[in-house]
Structure 1
Amino acid sequence: MKSHRTTQTMKPATAAKKLGVYLPATPAEFQEGVVSRAELDELQANPPEWLRELRRNGPHPRPVVAAKLGVSIAGLARGGVTEPLTTEQIEALKNDSPEWLRKERATQAEARKEAARLKKRDAERAEQGDRRS
């Protein structure tokens, strides 16, 4: 019996998220269609000019803005940043370095440090458990 392979597709919002771009800034044909896994792979491997331009200059979705600023998405909200930002706006924020951004970067650094400590602790516990077996 032959298995029928169906083409896996996704909504444009899902594809935009995977590509790291802000959906409303993409071309209309991207927003209105569906994207197959093969098309997504092709977009990632050989991005067209519109995708390269969006990645370079934005507007960027919140996860990308947060990553570029070195803060969490919640930190962005606490800082009053709720809209997508362009690369230029992100650079201006970095240069201005407002108090909320310095505070959120410090919070994020502490969270990373704690996560690393817990990972090391868990690895040591797992190693000790292996020795006892």
Structure 2
Amino acid sequence: MTSHKTAQTMKPATAAKKLGVYLEATPAEFQEGVVSRTEFNTLQADPPEWLRELRRNGPHPRPVVAAKLGVSISGLARGGVTEALTTEQIDALKQEDPEWLRQERATQADVRKEAVRIKEKHAAREAQNDDDARS
């Protein structure tokens, strides 16, 4: 009784998401096929020129755009950014620094501060519980 493993594969959309690129900007053969785990690992370890170019200049998917602008994906939507942007467009937005972007960055900074505060509060509570358990 011999069992043979089938190669683990993923849809192009999943692979593009994991690679941090906008699916619609990838080559047709990438979009139309499936990506095996081996192919995916190769793409990550030794990216072809098209992948390096997409990562460098875009268009970038919304999570990457949000990270480059320092806002949340929801913040992008509130700012009216619903499409993929190129690096050039992102840089232009940073230069323009519209009110919505300043507001969303401030909101994101507040969210991060609150996350740190909660984490420290939980750590202090945990330390107190550990001390109580030892007593």
- In the superposition, the TM-score normalised over structure 1's length comes to 0.97
How far did 1:5 drift? 2.5
For 2:115, the equivalent position in structure 1 comes to 115
Alignment map for 1:83-122 (pairs within 5 Å):
83-122=83-122
For 2:125, the equivalent position in structure 1 comes to 125
5+ long unaligned stretches in structure 1: none
Alignment map for 1:75-86 (pairs within 5 Å):
75-86=75-86
Aligned residue type for 1:117 = R
Alignment map for 1:8-27 (pairs within 5 Å):
8-27=8-27
The percentage of aligned residue pairs carrying the same residue is 77
For 1:53, the equivalent position in structure 2 comes to 53
Secondary structure of the equivalent of 2:83? Answer: coil
How far did 1:57 drift? 0.4
- Number of matched residues? 133
Counterpart CA distance in 2 for 1:119 and 1:35 is 38
5+ long unaligned stretches in structure 2: none
Aligned residue type for 2:42 = E
Counterpart CA distance in 1 for 2:101 and 2:121 is 30
* Cα RMSD, aligned residues only: 1.0
Structure 1 residues 124 and 2 mapped into 2: Cα distance closer, same or farther (>3 Å)?
farther
State the 4+ residue runs in structure 1 displaced beyond 4 angstroms: none
- In the superposition, the TM-score normalised over structure 2's length comes to 0.95
For 1:31, the equivalent position in structure 2 comes to 31
Secondary structure of the equivalent of 1:114? Answer: helix
Counterpart CA distance in 2 for 1:130 and 1:3 is 49
How far did 1:131 drift? 1.5
